[in-house]
């Protein structure tokens, strides 16, 4: 639980605008804590599995790292509003697709999609020009890396273990920072 200084007459007075006491109590504890100091929060790990996007995450303007698991099949468009994000980790989920808005995360350096349900390489990823680390491992139905990956000049680490990828595009030979 989150300890809050309040009195019974103004129970929700310390909450961000637009969030009711009932809604606040329904949020994961880590998000409740973050919302008490939204300007200071740079890291958020949500325990458990998200069934739906929590719009309150967008109230954290300085969020640099977000980690969660999800039963959603597609990363929601609203993730594109987290423009200060440098690390996004969605592990052990059901993601089949990424939203097109992920390309708005122009500060993103690390994308961890370990153990999801990706069947195709998300084309949006190649437009993340600051991305240094990409983990696609344990997406067992993933079988192809597109030649366009060679456009990712900042990519240093690519993890594709436990996928169905058998060959890599020849264009990757020019990726001098990739190991």
Average pLDDT per 10 consecutive residues for the chain, totaling 179 residues: 52 81 95 96 96 97 97 96 98 95 97 97 94 98 96 96 97 91
Cα–Cα distance list, 138 to 98, 112, 124, 159 (Å): 16, 11, 20, 9
| Residues 65 and 85 sit within 8 Å (Cβ to Cβ) | yes
Going by C-alpha positions, the residue among 126, 123, 165 that lies closest to residue 143 is: 165
Q: What's the CA gap between 133 and 131, in Å, rounded?
A: 6
Q: Which residues pair with 74 in a beta bridge?
A: 97
Q: What is the pLDDT of residue 12?
A: 61
**Alpha helices, DSSP H, located in 70-133:** none
Q: What is the pLDDT of residue 7?
A: 53
- CA 128, 129, 130, 131 torsion: positive or negative? positive
Q: What is the pLDDT of residue 179?
A: 80
Q: What is the pLDDT of residue 13?
A: 72
Q: pTM above 0.85?
A: yes
Q: Which residues pair with 3 in a beta bridge?
A: none
Q: Which residues contact 73 (CB under 8 A, 6 or more apart)?
A: 94, 95, 96, 97, 117
Q: What is the pLDDT of residue 133?
A: 98
Q: What is the pLDDT of residue 72?
A: 96
């Amino acid at each position: 639980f989150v300890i809050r200084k309040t009195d019974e007459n103004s129970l929700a007075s310390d909450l961000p605008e637009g969030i009711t006491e009932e809604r606040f109590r329904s949020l994961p504890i880590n998000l409740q804590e973050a919302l008490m100091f939204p300007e200071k929060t740079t890291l958020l790990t949500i325990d458990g599995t998200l069934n739906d996007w929590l719009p309150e995450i967008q109230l954290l303007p300085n969020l640099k790292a977000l980690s969660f698991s999800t039963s959603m099949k597609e990363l929601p468009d609203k993730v594109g509003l987290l423009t200060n994000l440098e690390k996004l980790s969605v592990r052990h989920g059901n993601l089949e697709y990424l939203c097109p808005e992920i390309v708005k995360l122009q500060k993103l350096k690390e994308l961890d999609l370990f153990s999801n349900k990706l069947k195709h390489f998300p084309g949006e990823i190649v437009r993340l020009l600051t991305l240094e680390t990409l983990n696609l491992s344990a997406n067992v139905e993933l079988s192809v890396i597109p030649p366009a990956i060679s456009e990712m000049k900042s990519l240093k680490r690519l993890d594709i273990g436990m996928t169905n990828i058998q060959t890599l595009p020849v264009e990757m030979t020019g990726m001098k920072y990739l190991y």
